[in-house]
Amino acid sequence: MSKVCVIGLDGGTFTVIDHLVARGRLPHIAGLMERGSRATLMSSNPPITPAAWSSFYMGTNPGKHGSVGFFRFRPGTYRLEPMNASAVRGTSLWSLASGEKRRVCVYDVPVTYPASPLNGIMISGMDAPRFDARSIYPSELRQKILDAIPNFDISSSVDYRYLARHHRDPEAECIRQLQAHLEVEMAAITYLMEQDDWDLFVAVLRSADIFQHIFWDSTARVMAGAPRAGDERRAEAVFGVYERIDEGIGGRWLEWLKGRDLVIMSDHGFGELKSEVCLNRFLERAGLLEFRRRGSRGRSAKIIKSKLQDYLPRATRQSLKRAMRHDDTDKRWRLWVDSLIEDIDFTKTRVFSIAQFGCLYINHLGRNALAPVQGEAERESVIAETERALSQLLYPEDGKPLVSKVYRGEELYHGPLMNEMPDLVIELRDYAFLGIYNTGEELAQEDIICRPQRELGRLSYTGTHRREGILVLNGPGVKKACLGTACMVDIAPTVASLMGLPMLAEWDGRVLEEALVDGSAVADPGRSVYGKAEHGSRGRVYSEEDEEEIRKRLQNLGYL
């Protein structure tokens, strides 16, 4: 029975790590891999932040825990609510440890807002709208954190759009601000480590993901030995994140980590972003979806808002957006249908896409009373028709199919929350293509498949997620082994085994026994929490202002 530290690198990839290790730039991580075990950690499908991290800490698939994307449908409507911990079903790894009287600290893990009471400390992740009393437990620790780290915040506040339009060197200023937030993350982890002799310590650093989304093109060219002008600075910004974390492992964290088992993991990997795809427009072309007819006043309002985004600071943009509602959209429609998908006529649409990673939903009566698809036979017919249509989606540059595979929901998920899962998940070739989240933006595009938007110049996204993440295990309870691949749901039972915690019957993963000195573990059939919520309720936790803040953050990060 040992103490365990889990360091999560959001977007961490061996593509970068191995490149830097080969050049002697990550000596401490290299040593951990040499003496311990490593594996390619396969992300959730699709490889998106909320689903992956929830699968890690719940040890179950999205069909059980309910988190498949950044939003979930408000029951009985087409309104989207930001995903947060109150909507996640099951017992988390840290709640299990806390219940066994172990001291626990959790920092910046996505989908942990509001912070839950436990035997220790929790600071919520990116789903917290702000650093307030609901995003930290115990709440009285908030001021102590601010005293120790005066510029502490949940997420970075970089306004990429404003920098791109107004700063003399937006790239340099963006790097400076992101590096400053990385230092906040590092300082927070150091501070929290030193507060107690934690039995379980879990911390996530999100900086690698943010840097790579913007600077991946340059990073890839530098690693390939074919840099262009300006690539070195951009690539070094990415490399610097990994080096800074390596310094922490071999520096101030070193003494605290002694005698502990260390898990370094990521929620997904990273790679090139080639193109964006207007999936809902494609479904319209296939006769499966219908858009609403919009008046010229509504279109004009959208155009004005788009122009305002290019020239005004973020706070001003948000104030004006609240005042400028679509003139042709009645109030009842806005209460029923979310603004991200309000252009879809759901009374006539049989299948539609939500989010960037190809999640398709059959519009059937089991979800909404006004849906046109009735009964299982009709649902199956629509699924088959959709699969046939997707096989005809071709990439113009080579004339070959863009969809590598179409998964049915039941192939990927199982559990009591299947009705909330997508009916189909499409794998766009090499995961190098993303859907467009906002139907208004889809309708503004000339083509179904379009180049990624470059309105932010050198701050535009050039990289996106891959399923292949990282896993490194090291410590007294770990032996050297080549694991090949592992899954997100394997981490909770493996950590529980290292800590001597009970195994939960509902866990979908396995203990990575081949990497552990004593890896045998048996599930406890008496521990089953199907259908229970981590916080005891699936009610709303966000105000309208909170939801707007979360949407603003996700838009600024390029996810909307």
Question: pLDDT, tens digit, for every residue of 245-261?
Answer: 999 999 999 999 999 99
Q: Please tell me what DSSP assigns to residue 329.
A: S
Q: Which amino acid is at 396?
A: P
Give me the pLDDT at residue 535, please: 43
Question: Region 503-518: what's the mean pLDDT?
Answer: 95
CA–CA dist 49, 68 (Å, integer):
9
- Distances from the Cα of 149 to the Cαs of 152, 153, 192, 245, in angstroms? 5, 9, 11, 18
Q: Is the pLDDT of residue 88 over 50?
A: yes
Q: Is the pLDDT of residue 394 over 60?
A: yes
Compute φ and ψ for 123, nearest 5 degrees: -120, 120
Give me the pLDDT at residue 270, please: 98
Q: Is the pLDDT of residue 11 over 80?
A: yes
Q: Is the pLDDT of residue 537 over 80?
A: no
List b or e across 509-529, with b for residues whose CB sees 16 or more CB atoms inside 10 angstroms: bbbbeebbeebebeeeeebeb
Which residue carries 């069909």 as its tokens? Answer: 63
Q: Is the pLDDT of residue 142 over 70?
A: yes
Which of the four pLDDT bands, split at 50, 70 and 90, describes residue 520? low
97-106, 156-165, 193-202, 227-236: segment of lowest average pLDDT: 156-165
CA–CA dist 253, 431 (Å, integer):
35
Give me the pLDDT at residue 75, please: 84
- What rounded mean pLDDT belongs to the chain? 90
Most confident by average pLDDT, 305-309, 509-513, 520-524: 509-513
Question: Region 401-415: what's the mean pLDDT?
Answer: 97
| DSSP reduced 3-state for 200 | strand
Give me the pLDDT at residue 314, please: 54
Q: Is the pLDDT of residue 367 over 90?
A: no
CA–CA dist 283, 310 (Å, integer):
30
Give me the pLDDT at residue 455, please: 74
| pTM, rounded to two decimals | 0.91
Q: For residues 106 and 337, which has the higher predicted lDDT (pLDDT)?
A: 106
Taking Cα atoms as reference points, which of 363, 239, 193, 215 lies closest to residue 289? 363
Token pair listed for 282: 């494609």
Give me the pLDDT at residue 99, please: 97
Q: Is the pLDDT of residue 140 over 50?
A: yes
Give me the pLDDT at residue 36, please: 97
Beta bridge partners of 124: 109
% of the chain at pLDDT higher than 90: 77
Q: Is the pLDDT of residue 469 over 60?
A: yes
CA–CA dist 390, 392 (Å, integer):
5
Give me the pLDDT at residue 529, please: 44
% of the chain at pLDDT higher than 70: 88
24-28, 351-355, 546-550: segment of lowest average pLDDT: 546-550
Give me the pLDDT at residue 560, please: 76
Q: For residues 459 and 521, which has the higher predicted lDDT (pLDDT)?
A: 459
Give me the pLDDT at residue 334, please: 62
Which of the four pLDDT bands, split at 50, 70 and 90, describes residue 189? very high
Helices and strands in the chain: count of H runs, count of E runs:
20, 24
CA–CA dist 216, 396 (Å, integer):
23
161-165, 184-188, 505-509, 526-530: segment of lowest average pLDDT: 526-530
Question: Region 375-396: what's the mean pLDDT?
Answer: 96
Other beta carbons within 10 angstroms of residue 533's beta carbon come to 18
Q: Which amino acid is at 115?
A: A
**CA 259 to mean position of chain CA atoms:** 31
Q: Is the pLDDT of residue 95 over 50?
A: yes
Long-range contacts of 492-495 (CB under 8 A, 24+ apart): 492/56, 492/57, 492/58, 492/59, 492/93, 493/59, 493/521, 494/263, 494/519, 495/4, 495/6, 495/93, 495/200, 495/263
CA–CA dist 523, 300 (Å, integer):
59
Which of the four pLDDT bands, split at 50, 70 and 90, describes residue 313? low
Residues 49, 53, 59, 60, CA torsion sign:
negative
